[in-house]
Amino acid sequence: MSDIAPSNFSLSSRTGGVRIERVALGAMVRVTLAPGRRDIEAGLEAAFAASWPASPNHVMAADPAIYWFGPGDWLVQTATTRSEVVAARLSDLIPADGGSAVAVGDGHVGYDIGGRDAAALLASACPLDLDRFASGRSARTLFAGANVLLHRRDDEAFRLLSDRTLGAFLQDFFAAALREFS
Amino acid sequence: MTRFATGGRIDRAQPLRFRFNGRALHGYAGDTLASALLASGIHFVGRSFKYHRPRGIVSAGHDEPNALVQIAGAQGEPNTRATVLELTEGLAATSQNAWPSLAFDAGALIDALHPLFPAGFYYKTMIRPNWHVFEPSIRRAAGLGVAPAGIDPDLYVQRYAHCDVLVVGGGPAGLMAAQAAAESGARVVLADENGDLGGTLLWREAVAEGLAAGAFAAQATAQLRGRSNVTILTRTQATGLYDGNYALLCERPAAPGGGRPALRLWKVRARQIVLATGLHERPLVFPNNDRPGILLASAALKYRNHYAVGVGARLVAFINNDMGAADALALHRSGVTVAAVIDIRDADGTATGAALAGAGIAYRPGSVIRDTAGRRRVRSVQVCGLDGGGSQWIACDAVIMSGGFSPAVHLFCQAGGKLRFDESAAMFLPDRAPDGVRTAGGLNGAFGLDAAFAQGAEAGAAAAMDCGFQAPSQRTPIAAGKSPAQNIAPLWRVDVAGATKRQWVDFQNDVTDKDIGLAAREGYTSVEQLKRYTTTGMGTDQGKTSNVNAIAILGLRTQRTPQAVGTTTYRPPYTPLTFGTFAGQARGLLQKPMYRLPTHDMQAQEGAVFLEAGRWQRPDFYPRPGEAREDAVRREMRETRGGVGLFDASSLGKLLVSGRDAGRFLDHVYINRASNLAQGRVRYGLMASEHGIALDDGVFARLGEHQYLVSPSSGMTGAVFAHMQEWLRCEWPSWQVAVQNVTPQWATLAVAGPKARALLTALGTDIDLDAKSFAHMSFRDGRVGAWRARVFRVSFTGETQFEINVPAAFGPALWRELRNAGRPWNAVPLGLEALLRLRIEKGYIHVGSDSDGTTTPDDLGFSQWRSKDFDFIGRRSLLRPEAQREGRHQLVGLVGTDPAFRMPVGAHILPRIGARPPATAQGRVTSSCISDALGQSVALGLLASGRARLGETVELYFGGGTFQARVVKPVFLDPENQRLV
Amino acid sequence: MFLIPCPHCGERAQMEFSCGGEAVIVRPASAASDEAWADYLFGRANPKGWHYERWCHVHGCGEWFNLLRHTVTHAIRGPFAIRDAAPKVPQ
């Protein structure tokens, strides 16, 4: 099936220093709360317990993985449950007058960028200080001018999320940026 | 033979062949083009910019004014400085600014006519008829190199980097700064323009810590390379320092090609910066000082020691300071014979004269060079006393000069540093440094290794400590011998009897001391005016060797000190950069992130010609074989009006607005009401800015009691989202509203036309499509084909239209099903151009095209807001007298008198029929098309008091011609909306 | 060029932010005079020196906040909450 960003997209440098693969993100639900609804947030924290990211710019990377996106703004991602189910579970915790939880899995693309040159490749177009970006951290930032969320999974493994509409652009940019490492 | 058999840092085991102006020559790995040319006895490498005078190599670094060459081939580059260009096998370079050849240049005739071309001559003589008549031939005569015509095949990359301490310059001061900062634990980036760290340690003889200078540099380099917290960037020129200690460094990696980039632009964010950029030697300004073979003393020494090249067999030195004397002596001792040293200073009993005389060099204190001879290479100099007496010609084949030194303050000043002129050192020195910037070594006017080591170490340690690191425990290295002293006596120009020939200040721009005098006489006494009037300090070298001389001479002419004259503003880049450097990977389609529709690939298969519309790549039109754009667009319009058209409308924004105060919030965001909209219904809304100006329009739907879906126009989604967030966060923070941009989640495929309903029925849906149960401006959830979908009944075409929303991944499959189901009615893909023309026929506005930054909702015909009795964004501004006044430009329709003439967008409406420019425009055409459906030429436009002028015929002006149109209501097709049912 | 301290994300590159102009401009009630309204729309301090202004981490977490920024040196103090009055200007 024709798609804007082929799901089998995969690139690696000849020297093996960096490998980029599109990942299937599974179900994703974006949770957005009205400001001041600490009550709802407390409910979410209680329901998800330790897997709810307590501080900004962190990811709880279990299943579901929960990304802090901004104040009152999270992304819940799981490969094991359908998004309708996740959205329904979250909607139960979020009264309609205080925010929303909607499926957004189709609106995103994700790439795993790994290898010893992974950080250098990202640094070709991302202004973040990756030396000070520890495992488990996430950040919404820019890559090649595109809004992305970057998540450091470990020293040499990053995951980059962005809008599906930018998938083709990002893949072309990855291919161009990779030339330096081959 | 000018290459010495031993010594230098060249690799004699790696000979390289190259061509210069077609002549086959050879050099070695480690040579620059300049050193290889000098090794072949070639000084004369180019012609000057204005007078086409023969010019030679002046420097041995990035400050070179003369030796600019053109590199041949696809990777060709103009204006390349031969003094920094590394020699490579097969390099082919040519001189610039010479035709037909360097030796016989037709343009040199200009030099004979030079009295006709003083500074600013073209400002004075080429006024009539106007400058543009003369410009092309002047540019040809005075041009520099030629830009390569083809696509640059090289790889350009960029890299962000972050550090605690950035050290610029890897000479003795920079090395110590990097070591000290690294020792303390700071993250250090050390950048140096050369292939090896060490700076002058690599070619000035000295002993440090008991090691020869070169060995000491190698040891220090090895120590730094051994540290994990240090990044060493060699072959890297720092070209810009910006606010917040943000630096641009330009790296030319070794051996580009095969995946290796030709250039890497480093964008470095440093908490602290140590500048150890050294100094540039200054030429002396004396008559005929521009002949090939006349070069800087330090450059001659660098050619000798770094490249094992003697710049001549018999040199004369002209100096005004002891550093130049020392370099002359060092050259002489190393086998480059210096016949005489001409020193403008009086014999004052210092050791200088004795040392030179002891080495067998004729020393002439209290003397100047009054003239030189030699057309393509200097062959003699005329020396005389300061009183003009005792004149004597001395034969030579090269002249080395030292007129003092100018610290390389460029980056320091770019960062906001302030300078002071030190009269005794005759140099502009860093005075007040901006926060987080330190200076060390030659940049501070320090001569000698001890000072460089000490200042570097101190600056590096202090920078690290300012980042919170502990003071390093490192000991500062000790250099052997006494630190040299400059003992300069400035000589800004030769002013003795008989000094009649032109004295060149700026070699690259052919500016003489007389030109500066002329500028001063004509009142261009500000240094910035001087630069622009005479062009001194412009060009590829930006006056690195010439500026201070020019400033001092302007000072002499206007009785001011150099401090009082001041310097021109130092701006990035420090050295020239190519466009590729800035572009990096962002070439072609990668220039900026472009959004693609979910069905992009399918549209490509349909034969779409794509268009950049804002951030989106969208199908503009779908040409059939033999069809021009206009034909295709009009066919798409006809077939949609007559049958059914399909388009991917996914670029329309989708903002989910949720929360208790969502309705109240939208009541404030739109000029019309949102909170009284029934669930399941859709409404058209117009937003205004707080200034009362139309901001965007679109539809919004009520999904639930506390939830709305807002659909901004394609190009405005990000802006509207930001607008909403700003108001929520900054003005109404207690309102319970959450906004989410869910645009990328959905594929929105639109079916428009009289057969739209039939097509959807054929595709199969459980939604009752009957117009009574599913009316225009409402939505339904249900199954469409194989998918669960949300279907909106809205229209931008003026036809019955369904917009089917499915998750983006299903977009392509749904498109295919729509195409199949549409076969019986010849459903066509509808491009953006046809869509935009269909909406013109219907009078649907496009905010930003049919409005501008002064257009209010009232001007566009939207006055519903007047019935709203409460606040909304922009309301109070709409009540201001300006928004209410008579004569505002209002939206109208225009029907062209000639039905086949498309009224040009931007055509001005004249104040009356028969009027001609200059005249105050009464308005303009904002969008237009030929309507096949109506057999008319129609347009939307803004017209002063337009709504009161319906029926009037107006005359319009565009590009020299005029045409007429009738003013009508801004709707041409189906004003009763019968087609929307 | 400079770094902006986001209340949630810490110091980030300026390119991730957008500036919303002078902070704490009070929006008058609709009954305000034309003059008062015009001053609200157009009147700005535009100082040479410390300027209290609001920023949005638009390419990051999306938060709005206030900063003190020196318009000559680009020295920055903050962040401050969006409703906070301007703090005392640093010496």
In SS3 terms, B774-801 reads as CCCCEEEEEEECCEEEEEEECCCCCCCE
Distances in Å between the Cα of B539 and the Cα atoms of B84, B121, B543, B760 are 17, 18, 8, 67
Instruction: Note whether C2 contacts B: Cβ–Cβ < 8 A.
Output: yes
Indicate yes or no: CB of B880 within 8 angstroms of CB of C34.
Answer: yes
Instruction: Report long-range pairs for B378-381 (Cβ below 8 Å, ≥24 apart).
Output: B378/B291, B378/B292, B378/B293, B378/B294, B381/B316, B381/B318, B381/B342
Q: Which two tokens stand for residue B515?
A: 């030109």
- Optimal mutation site among A33, A67, A142, interface C, most CBs of chain C within 10 A: A142
Give the DSSP H or E segment for B20.
strand B11-20
Residue labelled with tokens 């081959």: A182
Q: Which pLDDT belongs to residue B865?
A: 84
Indicate if the alpha-carbon torsion angle A153, A158, A159, A160 is positive or negative: positive
Residue B381, classed as helix, strand or coil, is: strand
User: Taken in order B142, B145, B148, B152, is the CA torsion positive or negative?
Assistant: negative
- The number of angstroms, rounded, from the C-alpha of C49 to the middle of its chain's C-alpha atoms is 14
- For residue A115, the one-letter residue type is G
Cis peptide bond N-terminal to A127, omega within 30: no
- Give, in order, the Cα–Cα distances in Å from B976 to each of A109, B385, B842, B929, B981: 45, 100, 11, 21, 10
Distance CA B926, CA A176 (A): 40
Mutate which of A133, A140, A142 to test chain C, going by most C C-beta atoms within 10 A?
Answer: A140
**What pLDDT is attached to residue B269?**
97
Chain A adjacent subunits, 3+ CB pairs under 8 A: B, C
> Distance between CA atoms of A77 and B449, rounded to whole angstroms?
61
User: Which member of C3, C64, C74 has the closest CB to residue B730?
Assistant: C64
Sort out which chain A residues have CB atoms less than 8 A from B706's CB and list them. 96-97
Q: How many residues does chain A have?
A: 182
On whether the CB atoms of residues B458 and B172 are closer than 8 A, the answer is: no
C-alpha pair distances (Å), A57 with each of A53, A73, A127, C2, C82: 8, 11, 16, 21, 21
Specify the pLDDT at position A15. 81
Chain B contact for C81, CB < 8 A? no
Query: Element (H or E) spanning B479, and its range?
Result: none
Instruction: Find residues 239-258 of chain B whose CB sits inside 8 Å of chain C.
Output: 242-244, 246
Query: If you count residue pairs, one on A and one on C, with CB atoms under 8 Å apart, how many are there?
Result: 39
Q: Spell out the residues 6+ positions from residue B28 whose beta carbon is closer than 8 angstroms to its own.
A: B10, B11, B12, B14, B15, B16, B36, B87
At B57-114, the pLDDT tens digits run 999 999 999 999 999 876 788 889 999 999 999 999 999 876 667 777 776 777 777 7
Contact B103, B30 (CB under 8 A): no
pLDDT (0 to 100) of residue A6: 64
Q: Do A140 and C12 make contact, defined as CB atoms within 8 angstroms?
A: no
- Which residues on B lie below 8 Å from C3 (Cβ)? 244, 269
- Residue B458, both tokens: 């101190």
Find chain B residues with C-beta within 8 A of A165's C-beta: 595-598, 650, 743-744
Tokens of C66: 């206030």
C-alpha B41/C-alpha B900 separation (Å) is 73
By DSSP bridging, strand B11-20 and strand B91-95 are parallel
Among the partner residues A57, A69, A147, nearest to C59 by beta-carbon distance: A147
- Residues in Cβ contact with B27 at an 8 Å cutoff, skipping those fewer than 6 apart: B10, B15, B16, B18, B35, B36, B39, B40, B87
* Cβ contact B707–A96 (<8 Å): yes
The number of helix segments (H) and strand segments (E) in chain A equals: 4, 11
* Residue of chain B with shortest Cα separation from C17: B722
Give yes or no for a cis peptide into B911 (omega within 30° of 0).
Answer: no
| Residue that wins the pLDDT comparison between B650 and A89 | B650
Q: Is B440 at the interface with chain A, CB within 8 A?
A: no
DSSP label at residue B519: H
Q: Which residues of chain B have pLDDT under 70?
A: 1, 74, 98-100, 107, 121-123, 125-143, 348-350
Per DSSP (E only), the strands in B715-768 are: 738-741, 746-752
ipTM over 0.90: yes
Element (H, E) at C4: strand C3-6
| Nearest residue on chain B to A131, alpha-carbon basis | B162
- The structure tokens listed for B22 are 């077609």
> Element (H or E) spanning B683, and its range?
strand B682-688
Contacts of B259 in chain A (CB under 8 A): 14, 179-182
CA end-to-end distance (rounded Å), chain A = 30
* CA distance to A30, A72, B486, B661, per residue, from A96 (Å): 14, 15, 80, 11
The whole-number pLDDT of residue B36 equals 98
Instruction: HSE, CB side, 13 Å, CA atoms: give it for residue B618.
Output: 22
Q: Which residues of C touch A128 (CB under 8 A)?
A: 12-13
Q: With an 8 Å Cβ cutoff, are C60 and A141 in contact?
A: yes
Residue B79: alpha-carbon gap to chain centroid: 18
Strand stretches in B839-952, DSSP E: 889-896, 908-909, 923-931, 936-944
Q: How much is the pLDDT for B336?
A: 96
Q: In this complex, is the C-beta atom of C3 within 8 Å of any C-beta atom belonging to chain B?
A: yes
CA neighbours closer than 13 Å in the CB half-sphere of residue C87? 13
- Between A26 and B453, whose confidence is greater? B453
Sheet holding B595-596, edge to edge: B595-596, B616-621, B609-613
**Partner-chain residue, chosen from C13, C15, C61, that has the shortest CB–CB distance to A70:** C61
Q: Three-state DSSP class for B629?
A: helix
The pLDDT of residue A36: 84
Mutation site for C-interface testing, chosen from A57, A138, A161 by largest number of C Cβ within 10 Å: A57
What is the value of pTM for the model shown?
0.94
B871 in C contact zone (CB under 8 Å): yes
Pair of tokens at residue B331: 């050259």
On the 0-12 / 13-18 / 19+ scale of CB atoms within 10 A, C91 is exposed
Nearest one of B846, B839, B740 to B799, comparing CA atoms? B839
Which of B592, B706, B744 lies at the smallest CB-CB distance from A165? Answer: B744
Beta carbons of A47 and A60 less than 8 angstroms apart: no
| Chain C residues whose beta carbon lies within 8 Å of the beta carbon of residue A57 | 8-9, 61
Coil, strand, or helix at residue A26?
A: coil
Subunits with 3+ C-beta pairs closer than 8 A to C: A, B
pLDDT at C30: 86
Q: How far is residue B301's CA from residue B304's CA, in Å, rounded to a whole number?
A: 5
Cα B204 to the center of its chain, rounded Å: 37
- Asked if A34 is an interface residue toward chain B (Cβ–Cβ < 8 A), one would say yes
Beta partners for B92? B19
Give the contacts of B757 (CB within 8 A, at least 6 positions apart).
B769, B771, B800, B802
**Which of C11, C57, C58, C59 would you mutate first to test chain A, the one with the most A CBs within 10 A?**
C59
In the three-class reduction of DSSP (H, G, I as helix; E, B as strand; rest coil), residue B116 is classed as: helix
